[in-house]
Amino acid sequence: MRILALLALALPLPAWADTIQTTSHITAITIYPSGAQVTREVTFTAPAGAHEVLITDLPADVEPTMIRLASPDATLGAFALRTDRLPPRAAPTSPVIDAAKAAVKTAEAGVAEAQQAVDAIDAQVEAQQAQITFLTGLKLDGAGATADSLTAIADMIQTKVLAARQAAQTAQLGLPAAKDGVTKAQDTLAQTQATLDALSRSDSDYTALSVAVTTTTDTGHLTITHYTADASWAPVYDMALDRKAPKLAVDRGVLVSQSTGEDWSGVDLTLSTAQPSSQSTASGLYPELKSIGDPQPPAPLDAVSDGMAAPVMSAPAAESRSVAASVSYQGDTVVYHYPTAVDVATGVENLRLALDTLTFTPEVQARAVPRYDHSAFLVAKLTNTEKEILLPGTAYLTRDGALVGSTELPSLAPGADTTLGFGAIEGLKLTRDMPLKAEGDRGIFTTSTQIEEKAVLKVENLTDEAWPVHLLDQVPYSEQEDLQITFTAEPAPTAQDVEGQRGILAWDFDIGPKETKEIKLDSVMSWPQGKVLQ
């Protein structure tokens, strides 16, 4: 027997007056991005005095070192987990399970009723067949009978047999529908039974918590909190852009998953961004000893054997320690408390729960990259004007009511911003023509080589509305004095080295309905004769 004692491990458990077997009820769950804290309530009845309370419904993977107990009306002693010599586990009950059991009984009654309809038709057909067999098996004794009486008997048999056959055929007409009713009733029973089985699944792999308590009243209460690693949550967003307003409505939700082996029914749910299983303190540094010495002489030729050089011994490496990078959120811990009781069945993946809706005023523009794209794209710059952080998660994007795609929203602290793409603008056409691209020696008496490029960037607005445009292009850049790069642009770019990227140029302008804008961009690269451009 394995006993994991959590308190007073070296001491024997006290001798109890009796053992009180009971179960717990999960009342509250705090879920972290990885893992969850489970709160259970236990109520038991016992006379005042010392007792062993054996709580028989804890999951087997409960972390023993993270179990905590509290009681408002009892004195608690040592407690331990037991994994063998456990009493039979009672069948789980809950209002949901009771409803599923009632549905199974109703479905069973439906199957019986449908089968009765089939049996009634079969009985009617069988009765008619028996009558036909009897009538057709009659042997008439013609002695002393007149022709008229024999004719009357024959007519009677014919009439009765015909009526019986017609009655059997009429009954058989309803047999397919009756059998179909049985099939449907059996399908309903199978579905309701599967639902009940899923709800009332009793996992044989469980453990029990033994607690020494001393009570002064006839009723005792215990609160158990423990940790499980088999649960998680993640943010999810629905972002709806109304471009003309402009307004960006953000419906925040969470995706909850758990596979603890037990259902959470009607629990008080809290979602926390804390990560108790992650690194909780800064990494340590250790002295790093370095030394110098004489260089090693080259290995002699006779030290080479079978084509392999003899190994060269080196000084021992200094002690080192590496720590894997841990994921952390910016800002303080954020806690969400769900306003209503929640049911989360074991094995569920990505149960979606709604949180709230936030509204932002975005900066909307058309982003154009004619070097690679044939159309401009609608983008919205979102600045977090809320007082709390927006956590990273999947965001589904809609523009004016139409779904345009999804993206991964980064972590946005208050005041931080990000740019979201909301699909192509088919009415803003882009082209990038290159009327000149020449390279080679520039004259007989020169000693340099160069490449000259002329490009015309064009935006054509085929829509009936004006658009603010943010156009991007690029020119090469150099960090070598011998490689000279110059460029000219008409009109001049609004910004250079956009977002710290060397050579990236940006133009900001408005384009009216049915209007066309052009940008001329020339660049020249030159380098000394004998060098190769890489």
List the beta strands (DSSP E) in 340-447: 342-344, 348-360, 363-368, 375-383, 393-399, 402-409, 417-441
State the greatest distance between any 2 C-alpha atoms of the chain, in Å, as a whole number: 148
Handedness of CA 384, 385, 390, 394 (dihedral sign): negative
Ramachandran assignment for 49, one of left (phi > 0), alpha (psi -120 to 50 degrees), beta (any other) = left
H/E stretch holding 196: helix 175-199
Residue 458 and residue 516 in contact, taking contact as beta carbons nearer than 8 Å: yes
- Please state the φ and ψ torsions of residue 147, each to the nearest 5 degrees: -65, -40
H/E stretch holding 270: strand 264-272
H/E stretch holding 169: helix 147-173
Return the closest-CA partner of residue 182 out of 116, 241, 239, 272. Answer: 116
Coil, strand or helix: which one is 283? coil
User: How many C-alpha atoms does 8 have within 13 Å on its Cβ side?
Assistant: 11
pLDDT of residue 496: 94
Coil, strand or helix: which one is 274? coil
Type of residue at 112: A
d(CA 420, CA 384): 13
The CA dihedral of 135, 136, 139, 141, to the nearest 10 degrees, is 70
Residue 197 and residue 91 in contact, taking contact as beta carbons nearer than 8 Å: no
End-to-end CA distance of the chain: 72
Residue 187 and residue 114 in contact, taking contact as beta carbons nearer than 8 Å: no
d(CA 514, CA 5): 79
Coil, strand or helix: which one is 269? strand
The tokens of 409 are what? 């929203």
Tens of each residue's pLDDT in the chain, 534 residues: 333 334 333 334 444 458 888 889 999 999 998 899 999 999 998 888 898 999 888 888 788 888 999 999 888 989 888 876 666 655 666 677 788 888 889 989 988 998 998 888 888 888 888 888 887 777 766 556 677 777 777 778 778 878 878 888 888 888 888 889 889 988 998 988 888 776 665 545 678 898 999 988 888 899 999 998 899 999 999 999 998 889 999 999 999 999 888 888 899 999 988 877 666 666 777 777 666 567 776 655 444 344 334 333 333 333 333 322 223 333 467 888 888 898 988 887 888 988 889 999 999 999 999 999 999 999 999 999 988 888 899 999 999 889 999 999 998 989 999 999 999 999 999 999 987 655 554 433 334 688 888 999 999 999 999 999 999 999 998 888 888 889 999 999 999 999 899 999 999 999 999 999 999 999 888 888 878 877
Residue 42 and residue 22 in contact, taking contact as beta carbons nearer than 8 Å: yes
d(CA 435, CA 464): 30
Number of H helices, E strands in the chain: 3, 26
pTM of the entire structure? 0.61
How much is the CA Rg of the chain, to the nearest whole Å? 42
Type of residue at 25: H
d(CA 491, CA 486): 16
**CA distances from residue 34 to 89, 216, 257, 388, 457 in whole angstroms, order as listed:** 29, 40, 10, 21, 49
Residue 63 and residue 53 in contact, taking contact as beta carbons nearer than 8 Å: no
